[in-house]
Structure 1
Amino acid sequence: MREDIPRLTPLVVRAMAIVEGFIQEQIDGFDRELGKVAREVLSSGGKRLRPMLVLVSGLAGDFEPHRLKKAAAALEFFHNATLVHDDVIDEAKFRRGRSTVFSQFGEKLAALVGDFLFSQTFILLSSYQDVEVLHIMSETGVSLAVGELAQLRNLYQPNLDEQFYLKRARDKTASLFSSACKIGATICGASSSAIQLLGRYGESLGIAFQIFDDILDIEGKTEITGKPVGSDIRDGIVTLPLIYAFKELEGKLEARDRIMEIFGQRDPSESEVREVIGIIRQTRALSRAKEKALGLVQASSEIVRNFQNQELRSNLESIGKFVVNRYN
C-alpha cells in the first residue's frame, strides 16, 4: 500500500511542523518578483524528505528542532533549486503534475529562480557559523554538477554499464540525501562515527530512491509520478532498467538494434517510446532493478542497527520503508 509520507514518531512530526512554519515564513519574506515564482516552486507538493532527514539525523546528538529548522529549510531550498535547474537543462514541461518554471516563464527566469534558492540555502546555513556544515553543502553542489554533466555527456547511449549509472545516481541524487543526514547530525553535535554512518545511510537510501524513480518512469502512472511515463526514454536518459534490459538482450540483436535505432534519432515519437518500454518489460530488467534497490534499502537498514537510540532507529527505518512503499 502506498504511503504519502513516512510514519514518523510524534517528536519528529512536531519538529516537521516547526520546519514547515519556518519555510512559509521565509517564503513570505522573499523578494517580490523572484519570490513569487520561488513560492510556487516550494509549494508544489514535495514530500520534504531532505528536511526530514536533517531532523531525524539530529536525533544522533542533542536534538533541538528550533536549532535545526534553518538547516532543514536550507536543504529544501537547495533541492528545489536543483529541480528548477534540471528542468532548464532537460527542457522539461511538467514536474509533480504541474507546469515547470521553465515552461511557464522561460529559461532565463528559471535560471535566476534556481540561483535565488541556492543563495537562500547558504544564507541560512551560514547562520550556524560552522565551516563543516558549509563544506558539506558545497561538496554536494560539486557532486550534483558532476552527476548532471555525466548524464548530459552520455545521453542516448543504452550500452552504458551499471557502475556508470550507480556513480551518476550517487552524485545526482544520493549526495543530497547523505548531506542532509550529515548536516543534521553535525549541527546537533553527534560523534564523528555517527555522522559517517548517517552519511552512508543517506547514500544507500538515495541511490535506492533514484532506482525506484527510474522504475516508476517505466511502469508508473502519470497521476502518481507527476510526469509522463517514459520521460527518461524520451529525453535519452539511460536508467538502470534500460541498462539491464540492453545487457540481457545481447543474444537478441533485433531488439538491441531497434533500441539503438530509436535512441539514435534523438527525438523518439510517442509510439517509439512505448516500443522501448515494451521491450524493457519483456526482460527481467525491472525485477532486477527492484532487487538492486531493495538491496540498498536493506544495506541502509543494517546501518541503522548500529545506533542505540530507539527514536533515531525508528524514524530512519520508517523513511527506508517509505522509499520502498512509494514504488509499490
Structure 2
Amino acid sequence: MEALEQIKEKIQSFLEALDSPLTLELSKHLQSGKMLRSKLVLNIAGVNEESILLCAVIEMIQSASLLHDDVIDNALMRRSKPSINAIAGDKNAIMLGDVFYSKAFCELVAFSKEYPQIPHIISDSVVKLSLGEIEDVYLSQGFNADERKYLAMIEKKTAALIESTAFAAALLAKKSLNDAKKFSLYGRNLGMAFQIIDDILDITSTQEKLGKPILSDFKEGKTTLPYIYLYHSLQEEGKERLKKAFKQEISRDEMMWILENLKKSGAITRSFRLAKNLGEAGIESISDQSCNKLVSIMQEMIDRDF
C-alpha cells in the first residue's frame, strides 16, 4: 500500500476508535491536500510504522488548524469544495478541529519513551501556530504595511509546523542533533517560502485553480507581501486608494487597477525573489545530507502554479 494511503488509513483508525458516528460523518467532508508535511517525514525518516504514525499526527494537527482557520476567515470553500463550516456551521467546525487536535496529542505521546523530544517539538510548534493565528487576526484589523510583522506572523502560523515536522523526522531517522537542526532550518524556510508563494498565487492564479476568486486574501483583510511591497511603491494618492479598497467588495475597475500596479511596481517579482532566496537557503542548509528529494520538493513548491 502506498505510504500516503497508509497515513490516511491510520487517521481513519484513530477516528473510528473515538466511537463517534457524528465525527466520522463530518470528517468525510474534509478535503485532502498535498500532504507536504507527510512527504517531508517520509523522505527524511523513510516509510515505517513510526514515520506513518508521526505523519498521521501531523496531518491531523494540520487539518485542525485549517478547520479553525476557515471559521476565522469565514471561508466557505476549501480546495474547490464547501468547507466544513459551510456544511455544518462554525460550531461543528470548531469542535471537529478540537477533536483532531486532542486526538493528535494523545497519539503523540507514543513517542515519549524512545524519542522524548518529538512530543515537545510538535506541541511547541502548535503553540506557535496558534500565536501566529492570533497575530494574523490582529493584523487583519487594518492595512498592515510592515513587512517584518507579516514575516514574523507567517513564520509562526505556517512555517512552525513544517519546521518541527522536518526536525522531528530527522530525530526519528536518528540524525545527530546538529544534523537535525539543519533539517529544521530547511523546514522553516520551506514553510516561509510556501506561504509567500501561496500569497502570490492568490493574485496571479485563476479561480479554477484556487477554488476561490482571485484577490480573496485582500478582500478578507490579509495584507500579504505583494500588497506591502505595492503600498511602499505608490505615491500618497495611490496608497490611500489601495487602503480604501482593503477588506471591501471591490469593483472590476479597482481590481484591474490593483493588478496592473502589482505588476508594474514589481511587487510580485520581488515577493517571488524572496521566496526563491528562502528556498535556496533551505536547500543549502541540507547540502551535506544527500537529500535530493527534499531539493526537488523545495523547487517544485516554489515553481508551482497552485
24, 35, 44: which one pairs with 1:57? 44
- Per the TM alignment, residue 236 of structure 1 is displaced from its structure 2 partner at its CA by 0.9
Paired residues for 1:26-41 under 5 Å: 26-30=14-18, 31-41=20-30
- Per the TM alignment, residue 157 of structure 1 is displaced from its structure 2 partner at its CA by 3.6
197, 205, 210: which one pairs with 2:182? 197
Percent of residue pairs identical = 30
Task: Sort the Cα spacing of 1:199 and 1:109 in 2 relative to 1 into closer, same or farther, 3 A.
Answer: same
- Per the TM alignment, residue 220 of structure 1 is displaced from its structure 2 partner at its CA by 0.7
- Is 1:83 equivalent to 2:66 in the alignment? yes
**SS at 2:33 equivalent:** coil
TM-score by length of 1: 0.86
Tell me what 2:111 maps to: 128
Cα separation, 2, equivalents of 1:273 and 1:173: 27
- Per the TM alignment, residue 144 of structure 1 is displaced from its structure 2 partner at its CA by 1.0
1:209-243 superposed Cα distances (whole Å, 9 cap, x missing partner)? 00000000011112212222111111110100000
Cα separation, 1, equivalents of 2:133 and 2:144: 18
147, 153, 159: which one pairs with 1:174? 159
Cα separation, 1, equivalents of 2:130 and 2:240: 32
CA contact (8 A) 2:15 2:23 kept: no
- Is 1:105 equivalent to 2:88 in the alignment? yes
275, 282, 285: which one pairs with 2:264? 282
Paired residues for 1:7-22 under 5 Å: 14-22=2-10
The residue identity in structure 1 corresponding to 2:58 is: L
Task: Sort the Cα spacing of 1:278 and 1:27 in 2 relative to 1 into closer, same or farther, 3 A.
Answer: farther
- Is 1:144 equivalent to 2:133 in the alignment? no
TM-score by length of 2: 0.92
The residue identity in structure 2 corresponding to 1:172 is: K
**SS at 1:246 equivalent:** helix
- Per the TM alignment, residue 17 of structure 1 is displaced from its structure 2 partner at its CA by 4.4
The residue identity in structure 2 corresponding to 1:76 is: E
**SS at 1:223 equivalent:** helix
- Per the TM alignment, residue 20 of structure 1 is displaced from its structure 2 partner at its CA by 3.8
CA contact (8 A) 2:162 2:188 kept: yes
Cα separation, 1, equivalents of 2:150 and 2:47: 37
Q: Note the aligned Cα RMSD (angstroms).
A: 2.0
Tell me what 2:34 maps to: 47
Task: Sort the Cα spacing of 1:115 and 1:298 in 2 relative to 1 into closer, same or farther, 3 A.
Answer: same
Tell me what 2:248 maps to: 267
The residue identity in structure 2 corresponding to 1:228 is: P
Cα separation, 2, equivalents of 1:127 and 1:159: 42
Moved more, 20-29 or 178-187: 20-29
Task: Sort the Cα spacing of 1:18 and 1:103 in 2 relative to 1 into closer, same or farther, 3 A.
Answer: closer
CA contact (8 A) 1:97 1:225 kept: yes
- Matched residues, number: 302
CA contact (8 A) 1:234 1:273 kept: no
Unaligned runs of 5+ in 2: none
- Per the TM alignment, residue 326 of structure 1 is displaced from its structure 2 partner at its CA by 1.6
- Is 1:215 equivalent to 2:193 in the alignment? no
